[in-house]
Amino acid sequence: MRVRFAPSPTGNLHIGSVRTALFNWVYAHKIKGKVVLRIEDTDLKRSEPQFETNILEGLKWLGLDMDEGPESPGDTGPYRQSERMETSFYKSYVDQLLTDGKAYYCFETAEELEAEKEAAELSGVAYQYSGKALSLSPEEIKSKLDLGTSYTVRFHIPENQKVTVPDMIRGDVVFDSDLLSDFIIQKSDGSPTYNFAVVVDDITMAISHVIRGEDHLSNTPRQILLYEALNAKVPQFAHLPIILGPDRSKLSKRHGAKSVTEYREEGYLADTLINYLSLLGWAPPEGREILTRTELVDLFDIGRVSKSGAVFDVTKLKWMNGMYIRRLSEEALLEAVTPFISEDLQSKLVKYSDSQRQAMVVAVRDNLELLSDVNAYLEVFSLSFEAYCTKIAALSFSESDIKVQQLAYDAIDSSSDLDSQFVGTLLDDIIEQTGLGKGKVFKPLRLATSGFGSGPALGDYIPILGKDVVLERLRHGLSKGAN
């Protein structure tokens, strides 16, 4: 049992490709098979080394390890189509089809073919190649070849045939061969076309299951005819539903269709993307949403993949990322957020000990949706007294606010140990003494001690700020008086 992920290095690894890679990876683990990475770089003009590097790095960051590929070669390489072309790998299969009479030379110029297309367009019919080259005699073909006339090679579509695509998601999808045009399998420069190269690659790599996006479904009948013409076993297919934006149009950059590296740089966790993308087109039993990779493999059933398009929702993705951030251990959380802390903020936090900095990160964890949010929430620990005063200059406090702040000041001033337990008891005592609700107690204390209207829990950040800083801020707040 072998599946493959076959990206083209004409751009960075994007969300749609990752979803395809993920479903192949999960299915391979489910069926105890292998997943092969193949770089489809037959488009030499648009393929770039940096894009291949981006693909490899993205897969590595996501933890989608490949059993075979450019970096882990096996017995079925090479794993770049360009390397296969260098050894005339595909030509032997073209020659086989020519010998069997299932393909033929085509000598029309680009201008002649364009004229055919324009005539079909004017007639209001779908373009199909005229088959003009089929009328050439063997002698005429030899003469043109001897003269060095430029040519392509076309595959001859059998007539009056129903081509059935065995799809594990959609069931059998039937195409009429008479609606398919004889297509080019070898370009004039000798390179293979996409439809031909992928079939030869899948045959020689012993691919048993092809899992890819539904945009490839229209290519599949042509590829099945090639498998049959080459006397090869047809793999099982599964065409994944398209990913849609919230407006149900095709996912684009305006919906959040960014590269994987962009998501990483924004502060998403790899596990978040894996979990979220697994739910685009597939639903686990009992409607569960947060799944470990092991659970994902155990629960995965390709029969539960939907035929309908799956909506990509950035809001839900951020929510899920927050859930995963809160699942990190304290050590893993600190390691994850540290690269996102700005140099300026780090310079302001050096006065704290390592344990205090770790406690800060833990304190703000519940506020984070993205790792990059950490700067905004850690600011509470970095404010100078002058910056704090500027922040609360426009604030006004009521009489009840002042009373709450005074009670807090008196208790903290006489305390010897300002820890989270003390702060919790203090808040309970103020609520009991004043008869005010939590909101009426927590809000004025948060504003007076931090300068912010929201952020980490009072019991988490007050002990880190320390007694002197907290008292200094409370004195300033009290000095403003009630308004």
Which residues are annotated as catalytic?
Answer: 253
Instruction: List, in sequence order, every residue forming a beta bridge with 259; answer none if it has no partner.
Output: 14
Rounded average pLDDT over 165-169 = 95
pLDDT at 373 over 80: yes
Domains of the chain by residue range: 91-240, 329-374, 383-480
Rounded average pLDDT over 412-416 = 92
pLDDT of residue 235: 96
Weakest mean pLDDT among 65-69, 126-130, 173-177: 126-130
CA quadruple 179, 181, 182, 187: dihedral, nearest 10: -150
217-224's contacts with Cβ under 8 Å and 24+ in sequence apart are 217/165, 217/167, 217/173, 219/194, 219/195, 220/165, 220/173, 221/163, 221/165, 221/175, 221/177, 221/180, 222/155, 222/157, 222/180, 222/183, 222/195, 223/195, 223/198, 223/199, 224/163, 224/164, 224/165
pLDDT at 372 over 90: yes
Strand 34-37, strand 171-176: pairing: unpaired
Strand 152-155, strand 103-106: pairing: antiparallel
Fold of 91-240: Rossmann fold (3.40.50)
pLDDT of residue 86: 80
- CA distance linking residue 42 with residue 82, whole number of Å: 6
Q: What is the pLDDT of residues 195-244, one digit of tens each?
A: 999 999 999 999 999 999 999 999 999 999 999 999 999 999 999 999 98
- The reported pTM is 0.89
Fold of 383-480: Arc Repressor Mutant, subunit A (1.10.10)
pLDDT at 483 over 70: no
Give percent of the chain with pLDDT exceeding 70.
98
Q: Residue 79: name the closest of 89, 91, 69 by CA.
A: 69
Q: What is the pLDDT of residues 259-303, one digit of tens each?
A: 999 999 999 999 999 999 999 999 988 888 999 999 999 999 999
